[in-house]
Every structure is written in structure tokens, then in C-alpha cells.
Structure 1
């Protein structure tokens, strides 16, 4: 396994005034030199792992979603050929969420102090507990992923499992209502800060499996967010949708999903059901680390301890499914707003 780690990068958008200066010196989505068209500089090519090395982090009550041009958007060609947009806000509907082609550890959706390997399949902790989520979430069906404890120095620990998007990144997994975890020390399971005995502990060299079972529910919206109605901000020549956190509203909306459950495995052996009737929602594979533990992840298809249940799916399958779902959501938005999306009437 390649566990060389990227240099820690600081980022994030600070300040929330009406006219705020964006990090990296960018003044807005249309700022900078005028490119070939649209008043914007062409975004540089993404690294092999599919995400900019310098990027804003999800923090301070805001989330950032990497965007790319939407070739299906109305007036896309007119916008590209125009030189009138230099220094002006760009309509969000001209872009779309960039859907990653594979499931990896997120670079932006993590505590900045965590160190992610170059292949984005391993993470090393730093000081107190903090978290990283994977790039993809699931909301229905049975899904599985594995984690291997590569290094666990004395005094370090991990809490691994599943979390929704608003689980606190600067806390151990299972600290709030949005996450469920299994701790290395004593095998304790955690949810909402409450620890309960679950199994024996685990440590360096162990491979752990994480199964989530989410029955379908009419109360859950399975169509992903489109973000086309959100503002775009520029950071280091890339455009991102800016989304304000809605933690309070999400807490109020939490509902138990009957029949749902989490089962954890140690070296291929089930430790029985860890949690049942969990809250419905979209769950990401999530890792929280204390001190300098190093954990690698395996989202499939070649699991070390594959499960025999033919109904479950490896997390790697979610990447292709998410691209289809996001395309459907974007086309639905464009269809519902047909005739309303015009360049000559656009304003922030």
C-alpha cells in the first residue's frame, strides 16, 4: 500500500460579508483574466485522483461542491462565446456538480489536519479525534466497505463506521446524532456521545468490515441535490457551489428508519448487529482517528473478506450509480425551469 501522504493544505472561505474576498485571491466566479469566452479562465486539468490539490474545506457553516460546465444547459454556447461576463457572477445553472468516477476519501470533506495518501485510500491522524468522509453516500439498499488498521502507535485510537453529511468533522464519529461508530479500544460502539459494549477491541493488522442495511422509505428523497440554484465561487481557478449548512433543520427532520441496521465485521467474522432502526438519510463511510493512527480503506470490488450475501453491494458501485442520479437531477431541474433560465435576465 502506498501511504505517502500529501502535504497538509490550509483552505476555506472566511468571512461572510456582502462583498467578501475569496481565498486564493479570487474575487468571484468571473474574476481574473478573460479566457477564451465567458469571461473566465479555463480551469486547470485535475490531478489523477480527480480533485484539486488546493481547495476550500467544508467548514465554518458552509459546504463547497466542485462544479464543471454543463453541456446540456441552455445558452451554454452563447455564454462560452461571450466576452461580456468578465468580472460578473456566473449563473449556477450553466454548471453542474462534478461526480467523481470512483469512491475515495474526500479531500474537502475532512478535518484539515488529517493527512490523506496520494491514492486517497488511506488516512493518518493528527492529535485529537477528527474525521474524514468518503466521496459518496448511500440512502437505500445494503452496502459494504472495509478498513485495515495499518499503524496504531501507543495511545492512538480509531472510531470507524457511517455518518451523514452534518456529522461534526472536528469530533469523534458517533459524537452526535448523525453518526454511528465502532471504537478500537474495548470495541465500544458510539452514537450521540453514548458508548455501549459491543465486541472485543481491534488493533494494528486487523481488517474491519462495515455493512449498512437501509430499507426504502417514502419519507426519503432519493434524488440528489442539483445545486444549480446555488451561487458559484472561485478558488484557485476552479468553481465551486457554495451551500450553507442546515444542521438545525436536519436535526428536526431526523426520523427512525424501521428495519435499518449496521453490522460490523472483524477479520471476516460478524460481531452481530451494532445498531438497528437508525435514522434514515444519506450515509457516507466515515473514519475518525485519534493521534497518529493510519487506516487504509477498501471500497471494492476485491474485498479481503467478501460477504456471501448476494443482495449487498460494494461501495465502489455507488460511483457509477451516483453519476446517473446526478444527471437525472440536473436534467429535471433544467426541464422544470425551461424558459426561465436566461442570460439577459440573470442577476445574483
Structure 2
């Protein structure tokens, strides 16, 4: 089900607010215009313009492409726009478009695309102060350092792209601007903040236009030549093959696990995820105030400013015995053999960074894993910390703009300054290079987007299969439980029946219904119980007054003459004399035992 975020829209979106007519006798409230609603995706004809209730998912359209965003130009005839009706990432949370699956699926939502379906800047994963063109390749800053990431990460392999500087290098967009416009370019992880420049912390690696320095952990180091407006910057990254998670290690950070919730965002479906938090190990490196002679990696054996805690060791570096005493700071793993390099108008500036930090999360300690999960302040209870890979971890192209700086992204495959066939050979200053052998060692980043979406859909299918297997297992368990319950009830009923049979008193058989006799309980029932009753009515008076015994031998003795039930007994004959009409009922013995 969709989590409630905002009421569904009631009208189609429009850049211009719809005026509300004034009501006579009442003042019109300011800001009473209805909010704009999301429009149907252009690729889905027949999509209803008005969405129905949030709770009735089956009535919603099954989109393949998101309805958003809605572009609103920042000025008349300006190519740069604001984007509305999308979930722009904010502190602690991240959003991507979601779609509804056909009926019958266990998981009702899936990952979908948004227009244009190609490599570009992410509509959701950027600062709201970064304005964009409708193709997602043009970016314009406003004030301060604001950043944006691409819409697909690099997880392994060698990738290349270009960025043309339209305004930067200190150029001013107006006379009143004191500091001018600046650009920083580089690569960053998901944990890197969007309201700061690339290179601000250990989660991103940047290249400055003003000085040509490289920046990481907010520490500029000499690197290449400065660049300014009109220059074309090539960005290259090489990552080793992605490590395969160990199947027998449930705590391996490389295990795939998604923690996302489908929400209703202004009438359209979005996935809301908890953003990965920054680790205290990385924060400790940022707080380190000492200087290092190594421009690529920082030492971790120097004490942290303000206390005696030791900085975490980079994986592969020697570990000091004093640092191992601090069990709270975990080692920061590296991607051995990885490197980042930049080109300016086709000229290689050399290796900027190598053996960069791994983009996977740090392994949870056993104590942390056993602790009850606590939710951070302001977080929904349904959100959970995710120490594993959700399929979107990696390094993204990271563009930071200061003031009114602007750039144009070129993801390829055609570049203004194509790089050499083997960039690594150039970086290693190899004297011999077999062009045919090394052709195609890098790829344009435009090819990464379809791969990334295929990965997401594969993850969706895997989750659906796991959910179906889960449902089948639950159904089997419920069936077995129902059978056991039925057996227990049957045994209980049988036990109760046996118990009733034991406590039930013994009863003598009665003469039968309708005979009019009382039940005689005797050790040996009298044979008279088997007699057949014959009623003699209108007998002659002499028979009525002095009935003669049928057999003189059966004349009753002193204690005989009346039966136990008050009937007069004559020999073997019972005489009823209590009939209302005065008639007498005679019972004549019979030798027929069939009764």
C-alpha cells in the first residue's frame, strides 16, 4: 500500500496558477489556488488525468515512465527551469520514481524511468538550487556551492564523459558580483552532501577551476592547469571488478538489500529510501587537522584534534598497535587499482586520485548488529537502517556550481576532444601502446544508463520471486498448522466422548413408547412385560363383577392380587379399573415373545 504523503491532485498541472473567483460577501483567501497536479506520462496514452484514491491501487494507471517532472522556466525564454512534482532528495531521504505492477504480483510496485530515458543529471538527486534544461544536460547555479549527481552510478569498469564550462573560472555574470562564478567537477558517492562542493569530505573527489587543484577531505593539493569558461573537461574513472558478496556471510556489506517504501507524492508514486549516513570513521578524517606529505592518501596514525582517539587506517596501509585499541573506529576499505583523472581540452592532467575509498558500507560490528534497531529523530518507524548494498551504491558524476556558474554535460558517445583508446596507458606514461589491442578499454558513460536500469529491473524480478517463494512457504506452514489443529480438535472430541461414556448411568430397557407402563427396574424382568394387551369393553355384567381366574392353579397367594403399579392382579391377568368411562382393560397373557 502507498504511504500517505499528500492528498491526490484534482486537476492537471499548469505552470500558471488558476485564479479562484471571489465569492460575494466573503473575502478570498490568499494562496487559495488549488495545487498543480501531475500530468500523465507522454508515453502512456489514455492515462487518466485525475488519480483516484490512494488506497485503491488497482484503479491507478500502470505507468512505464514517470509523470514528472513539470518544468517551469526561471525566466521568459530561458532554457533553464525549475522542476515541480518530484521528490527532490533532502537530508536523510532519497527518492526515485515508482510504478504499479499488474494485478497478481506479490510486490505491487516496481522501478520505472522518467523522461528523458538517457544519461543525464538526476531530477531527484540534486540541490533544488540547481536549475536544469529539459534534456537534463544543462545546469545553472544560483548562489553558494550547490551540487548535482548523475542518474546512474559507476560500480566497476572504465568510464569517460565531458563537461563544457559555459560560465566559470571566476567570470562574473553581472557587475555587482564580487566573487564570480566557479565550477568544481569530479566523482562522488551517495553520502556526499548536495549543499556543498565536490571534495568537501572523503565521499567525493574534485577538480577546481580557479587553481587547478584537486580536492578531497576539503584539502586542496596541486594537480593540473586551471580551467575557465569555454574549456572542455574530460572526466575519467576506473574501478576494479565489483567484489562478489560471500553467500555464507550474512553481515557482508556486499549483500543486496533494499529498504524502500512506496509513497504517494502529490498524486504520483515514488519510492522513499533512507539515505546512507556518513560514518564516524570518515568524519574523523575530515576533522583531522594535520598535514600530510602524501597527496593521495592520508595517514591514519596521527591523533585526532581535540582528543586522543586514533584515526582509522586505510585498508592496505600498516596498522599501528595503538589504533587497534579503539574498536569503535573500523578500517576504511579501498578499491585497489582504482583511479580518477581529468583532461582539459583533450590534454591529460595525469592521475588525480588512486586507490579511492570503497563505495560499500562499512561492516557492522557484532555488538551493533545485535542491538535493537533504533530510529533516528524524525524518521518514520517503517524505515530501517540498511548496512548493505541497495543496488544504487557507486560513484556518480558530481558537478558543483558556485553562484551563477553554468555547464553543459556531454555523456557521449561523440566527444569534442576524444580521449586516447587506452587512457590507463597514457596515465602510466607507457612508451609502447598497441592501439588495436587497447581499443575500447574505456566506455562513454551514456552506455551506463541502460545497464543500470536493467540491473534495477533484475533486482525487482528477484524480489518478486523471493516474495512468491515466501508466500508459498507461509501458505504451506499455514496448511500444516491447520491440519495439526484439526487433528488436535478431533482427538479432543474423541476424549470427551469417552469421558461421557464412562460417567453415563446404566438404565434398564423400557417396555417401549406408547404402552403406558412405567419402567420396571428389576434384576429379572417379569415375563408379563412381553404380554400383549387386549381391551375388552362392554363385557357382560357377570364378567365385570366377578372375573374368574383363567387358571385356578394361578390363584394369588396372601401377598398377591396387586401389582407394583397399583393394578389389580388376578392370576396372570392385570385388570385396569381406573379408566374414566368405567370400562375395564384386560391384559391377557400370551406366549408370543416377539413383542
Deviations 1:134-192 (A, max 9, x none): 10101100001100001233311111011111110000111011100001001011111
Deviations 1:270-301 (A, max 9, x none): 00000011012201111001000110000011
Deviations 1:30-54 (A, max 9, x none): x97349x635543787469899842
Q: Secondary structure of 1:55's match?
A: coil
CA contact (8 A) 1:226 1:333 kept: no
Q: Secondary structure of 2:136's match?
A: coil
Max radius of gyration: which structure? 2
- 1:61 paired to 2:92: yes
Once residues 215 and 50 of structure 1 are traced to their aligned partners in structure 2, the CA distance between those partners, rounded to angstroms, is 39
Note closer, same or farther for the CA distance 1:43–1:131 as it changes in structure 2 (3 Å cut). farther
Once residues 57 and 469 of structure 2 are traced to their aligned partners in structure 1, the CA distance between those partners, rounded to angstroms, is 21
- Per residue, is there more helix in 1 or in 2? 2
Tell me which moved more, 300-309 or 177-186. 300-309
- 1:292 paired to 2:404: yes
Deviations 1:52-86 (A, max 9, x none): 84211111311112111235xx714xxxxxxxxxx
Once residues 61 and 187 of structure 2 are traced to their aligned partners in structure 1, the CA distance between those partners, rounded to angstroms, is 37
Tell me which moved more, 232-241 or 328-337. 328-337
Deviations 1:246-268 (A, max 9, x none): 21459568521111000100000
Note closer, same or farther for the CA distance 1:43–1:289 as it changes in structure 2 (3 Å cut). farther
Give the structure-2-normalised TM-score.
Answer: 0.47
Q: Describe how 1:239-254 pairs up with structure 2 within 5 A.
A: 239-248=269-278, 254=332
| 1:335 maps to which of 454, 465, 474 | 465
User: Structure 1: 5+ residue runs without aligned partners?
Assistant: 1-19, 77-90
Q: Describe how 1:309-348 pairs up with structure 2 within 5 A.
A: 309=422, 310-341=440-471
CA contact (8 A) 1:109 1:132 kept: yes
CA contact (8 A) 1:145 1:209 kept: yes
Note closer, same or farther for the CA distance 1:129–1:68 as it changes in structure 2 (3 Å cut). same
Once residues 144 and 222 of structure 1 are traced to their aligned partners in structure 2, the CA distance between those partners, rounded to angstroms, is 27
Once residues 87 and 94 of structure 2 are traced to their aligned partners in structure 1, the CA distance between those partners, rounded to angstroms, is 9
Q: Describe how 1:77-96 pairs up with structure 2 within 5 A.
A: 93-96=107-110
Note closer, same or farther for the CA distance 1:33–1:217 as it changes in structure 2 (3 Å cut). closer
Q: Secondary structure of 2:448's match?
A: helix
User: Structure 2: 5+ residue runs without aligned partners?
Assistant: 10-49, 72-82, 173-179, 246-251, 283-329, 360-393, 423-439, 476-595
Give the structure-1-normalised TM-score.
Answer: 0.77
| 2:154 maps to which of 122, 127, 138 | 138
- 1:267 paired to 2:345: yes
- 1:70 paired to 2:101: yes
- 1:22 paired to 2:5: yes
Note closer, same or farther for the CA distance 1:224–1:123 as it changes in structure 2 (3 Å cut). farther
Once residues 88 and 145 of structure 2 are traced to their aligned partners in structure 1, the CA distance between those partners, rounded to angstroms, is 18
Note closer, same or farther for the CA distance 1:120–1:67 as it changes in structure 2 (3 Å cut). same
Note closer, same or farther for the CA distance 1:223–1:237 as it changes in structure 2 (3 Å cut). farther
Once residues 102 and 222 of structure 1 are traced to their aligned partners in structure 2, the CA distance between those partners, rounded to angstroms, is 29
| 1:97 maps to which of 111, 118, 126 | 111
Tell me which moved more, 49-58 or 309-318. 49-58
- 1:277 paired to 2:291: no
CA contact (8 A) 2:4 2:264 kept: no
1:149 corresponds to: 165
- 1:107 paired to 2:123: yes
Note closer, same or farther for the CA distance 1:48–1:316 as it changes in structure 2 (3 Å cut). farther
Residue correspondences, number: 303
